[in-house]
């Protein structure tokens, strides 16, 4: 019987279509890629994503976004995480993200197949972009990640709408709802959809099908109405128009406050950075050169000149993405992700022409080589980090990388001419693609479970103390952008105001936070160690004038109501005894946690300041419980939008 089964499998193995084999391999790569997500292991992703995961948990437990927890993103990301958390906790959130990625890979592969690209060129294109996403940009930011996944999911429906030359409702509603979900996550992340819709609208109008163009617009309006209408009904039912206004303000309006980011925005030069760093400009240069140097009209049909429409689509996309990324004026790696969906088609085109069209070997090969050397140089020479970049540094790095890539390409070009070697090999490209996929897979499996853990022993000590002395329903407060503590401890926040400190809220943000924690009185408060060092140094030098009254009120509140357990961790005075796990006692042998005690190594900050050096040991000043910290110095009132909780 076993022999028969093996014989049947062997006979049918050769009949497996190459398309399905490639698609299966891509799905496996996508699934392994997902192991980069720290949430699979119960660890904390970047500080942004930690907030979104926390919101998903709190919403799943019955608390209301923009009322019990407030941040500056749309409700879409919180809804996705809420569904994921209900499915399986933080691992459920990672599972939902994996589903989006796999469906996106399938959709992109089907779209490229519709454009008549070979299986190998499709595989190379998708693996290259996914590897770039994984090796450089992915650290669990979620917002831009989902923007990429939803754009990928919409790729095949958009390709079908272009191929049909008319609008189809059953197909058109898929990208319409994907667009609505994307904008509900963050309103300015829909550049990919804007590019396709703008191109298709002009395409339908030029073909004399105005009805198709209007139907397409109607589908978008309908999807927006359904998605945002449901959000409106939910939030109106939970908190009336006051809560609805909060949703609109924190999702959209706050970003347009001229002082929100303390920068001159929009900054188009900041939005242009991703176009340079991703190497999209290299791909487009080779793509346009090939399209105009030969009679390359074939994308979907020989009947029309499709290339002008793809140029239009890419042009709309680049402009829309530059504008979208310029709204904050900041330059972070994960903002560049919005450019990645535009790389699939031109990159697959270049690889297809290199593998199958002898006349295009030179241009396509040199373009791909230039791109790979450019990206590898960026990774090998310059340090990649999660901190904000300075614009001059970005362009200096890109210029040096481009010079190196140009030198390599010229050397290879002249060597090929010298030796007369112009052949190309499918096997080499296949091996290169498999090698890249193996690298990203090995990277995901080896690195995924090590990222997102407490930054150092000092941080781990605080986490263990909080876990040992609190229950799941207890609240804590973490000052500053260190939201990973909420994931590590699996506790919730005592203040709804979790807005990143990079954004200048148009109201007295710190007073609202202080009012909240004064009302809820969390058992533990975590403060950044560097902030403690800076304040104590200023206090020692009588230089407290640089601190605002709100900062000083926060310090007085902590000194009056909390005792320092270890540096950076304060317990409520109502908590009589604190159990310090044995591991900490062994690690802290010979060190007293009192006045005059030496302190542990300074903790690293969130994903945007993880490279800080260890700081020298300083004396820990005892908590001042004298008149400086009188309860009357802090307004005893329930914070806005905070609801009293019963244990």
Closest CA to 61 of 466, 423, 493, 421: 493
Residues pairing with 598 in the sheet? 619
Most confident of 22-26, 80-84, 437-441: 80-84
pLDDT at 176: 95
345/207: higher pLDDT: 345
**How many CB atoms are located within 10 Å of the residue 42 CB?**
16
**How many CB atoms are located within 10 Å of the residue 494 CB?**
24
pLDDT per position as a tens digit, 119-144: 888 888 998 898 888 877 776 678 88
* pLDDT at 382 exceeding the cut of 80: no
Most confident of 101-110, 299-308, 529-538: 101-110
Most confident of 296-300, 344-348, 460-464: 344-348
CA distance 77 to 609: 24
Give the pLDDT mean for 204-216.
Answer: 90
* 8-17, 32-41, 441-450: the lowest-pLDDT one: 8-17
CA distance 248 to 241: 10
* pLDDT at 430 exceeding the cut of 60: yes
419/39: higher pLDDT: 39
Percent of the chain with pLDDT over 90: 21
Q: Whole-prediction pTM value?
A: 0.82
Closest CA to 227 of 204, 208, 251: 251
Give the pLDDT mean for 525-535.
Answer: 82
User: 132 near 278, Cβ under 8 Å?
Assistant: yes
- pLDDT band of 239, cuts 50, 70, 90: confident
For 130-197, the DSSP string reads HHHIIIII-SS--HHHHHHHHHHHTHHHHHHHHHHTS--HHHHHHHHHHHHHHHHH-TT--HHHHHHH
Q: Is residue 276 reached through a cis peptide bond, with omega within 30 degrees of 0 on the bond before it?
A: no
* pLDDT at 639 exceeding the cut of 50: no
99/265: higher pLDDT: 99
pLDDT at 325: 81
Most confident of 31-35, 296-300, 414-418: 31-35
pLDDT at 233: 94
User: 112 near 348, Cβ under 8 Å?
Assistant: yes
pLDDT at 578: 67
Give the pLDDT mean for 291-297.
Answer: 64
Give the pLDDT mean for 307-327.
Answer: 87
* 457-461, 541-545, 636-640: the lowest-pLDDT one: 636-640
Q: Roughly what angle, to the nearest 10 degrees, separates helices 119-132 and 426-447?
A: 30
pLDDT per position as a tens digit, 544-595: 777 778 778 888 888 888 888 888 888 887 777 667 676 544 344 333 333 3
607/44: higher pLDDT: 44
* pLDDT at 532 exceeding the cut of 60: yes
- Average pLDDT of the chain to the nearest whole number: 77
pLDDT per position as a tens digit, 49-90: 888 998 899 899 888 888 888 888 889 999 999 999 999 889
pLDDT at 87: 92
User: 562 near 525, Cβ under 8 Å?
Assistant: yes
* pLDDT at 242 exceeding the cut of 80: yes
49/197: higher pLDDT: 197
Give the pLDDT mean for 506-534.
Answer: 79
Q: Which two tokens stand for residue 290?
A: 């090939």
pLDDT at 470: 81
76/432: higher pLDDT: 76
201/512: higher pLDDT: 201
Give the pLDDT mean for 367-380.
Answer: 86
pLDDT at 505: 60
pLDDT at 8: 55
* 3-7, 290-294, 319-323: the lowest-pLDDT one: 3-7
User: 195 near 320, Cβ under 8 Å?
Assistant: yes
Closest CA to 128 of 460, 350, 410: 350
């Amino acid at each position: 019987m076993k022999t028969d089964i093996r014989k049947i499998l062997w006979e049918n193995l050769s009949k497996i279509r190459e398309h399905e084999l490639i698609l299966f391999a891509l799905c496996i790569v996508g699934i392994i890629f997902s192991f980069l997500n720290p949430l699979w292991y119960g660890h904390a992703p970047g500080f942004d994503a930690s907030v979104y995961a926390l919101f998903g948990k709190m919403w799943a437990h019955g608390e209301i976004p923009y009322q019990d927890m407030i941040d500056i993103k749309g409700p879409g990301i919180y809804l996705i995480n809420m569904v994921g958390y209900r499915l399986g906790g933080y691992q459920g959130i990672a599972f939902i993200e994996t589903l989006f990625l796999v469906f996106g890979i399938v959709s992109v592969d089907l779209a490229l197949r519709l454009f008549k690209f070979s299986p190998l060129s499709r595989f190379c294109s998708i693996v290259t972009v996914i590897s770039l996403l994984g090796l450089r940009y992915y650290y669990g930011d979620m917002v831009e990640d989902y923007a990429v996944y939803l754009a990928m999911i919409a790729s095949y429906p958009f390709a079908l709408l272009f191929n049909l030359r008319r609008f189809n409702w059953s197909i058109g509603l898929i990208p319409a709802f994907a667009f609505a979900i994307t904008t509900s996550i963050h309103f300015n992340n829909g550049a990919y959809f804007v590019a396709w819709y703008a191109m298709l609208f002009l395409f339908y109008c030029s073909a004399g099908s105005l009805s198709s163009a209007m139907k397409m617009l109607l589908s978008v309006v309908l999807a927006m109405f359904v998605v945002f209408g449901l959000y409106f009904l939910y939030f109106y039912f939970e908190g009336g128009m006051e809560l609805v206004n909060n949703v609109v303000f924190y999702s959209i309006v706050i970003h347009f406050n001229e002082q929100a980011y303390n920068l001159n925005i929009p900054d188009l030069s900041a939005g242009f950075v991703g176009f340079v760093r991703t190497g999209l400009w290299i791909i487009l240069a080779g793509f346009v050169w090939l399209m105009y140097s030969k009679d390359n009209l074939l994308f979907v049909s020989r009947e029309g000149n499709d290339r002008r429409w793809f140029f239009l689509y890419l042009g709309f996309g680049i402009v829309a993405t530059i504008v979208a990324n310029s709204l904050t004026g900041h330059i972070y790696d994960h903002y560049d992700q919005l450019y990645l969906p535009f790389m699939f088609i031109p990159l697959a085109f270049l690889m297809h022409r290199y593998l199958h069209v002898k006349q295009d070997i030179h241009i396509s090969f040199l373009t791909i080589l230039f791109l790979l050397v450019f990206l590898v140089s960026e990774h090998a020479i310059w340090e990649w980090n999660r901190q904000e970049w300075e614009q001059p540094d970005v362009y200096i790095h890109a210029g040096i990388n481009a010079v190196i890539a140009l030198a390599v390409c010229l050397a290879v070009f002249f060597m090929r001419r010298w030796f007369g070697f112009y052949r190309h090999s499918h096997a080499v490209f296949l091996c290169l693609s498999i090698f890249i996929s193996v690298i990203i897979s090995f990277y995901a499996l080896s690195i995924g479970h090590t990222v997102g853990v407490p930054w150092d022993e000092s941080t781990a000590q605080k986490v263990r103390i909080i876990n040992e002395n609190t229950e799941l329903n207890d609240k804590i407060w973490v000052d500053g952008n260190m939201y990973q503590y909420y994931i590590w401890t699996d506790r919730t926040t005592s203040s709804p105001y979790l807005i990143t400190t990079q954004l200048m809220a148009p109201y007295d943000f710190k007073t609202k936070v202080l009012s909240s924690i004064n009302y809820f009185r969390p058992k533990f408060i975590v403060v950044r160690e560097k902030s403690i060092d800076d304040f104590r140094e200023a206090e020692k030098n009588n230089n407290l004038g640089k601190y605002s009254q709100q900062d000083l009120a926060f310090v007085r509140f902590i000194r009056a109501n909390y005792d320092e357990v270890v540096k950076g961790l304060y317990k409520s005075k109502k908590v009589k005894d604190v159990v310090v796990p044995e591991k900490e006692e062994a690690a802290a042998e010979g060190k007293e946690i009192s006045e005059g005690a030496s302190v542990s190594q300074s903790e690293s900050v969130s994903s945007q300041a993880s490279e800080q050096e260890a700081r020298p040991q300083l004396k820990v000043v005892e908590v001042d419980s004298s008149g400086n910290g009188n309860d009357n110095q802090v307004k005893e009132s329930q914070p806005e939008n905070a609801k009293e909780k019963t244990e």
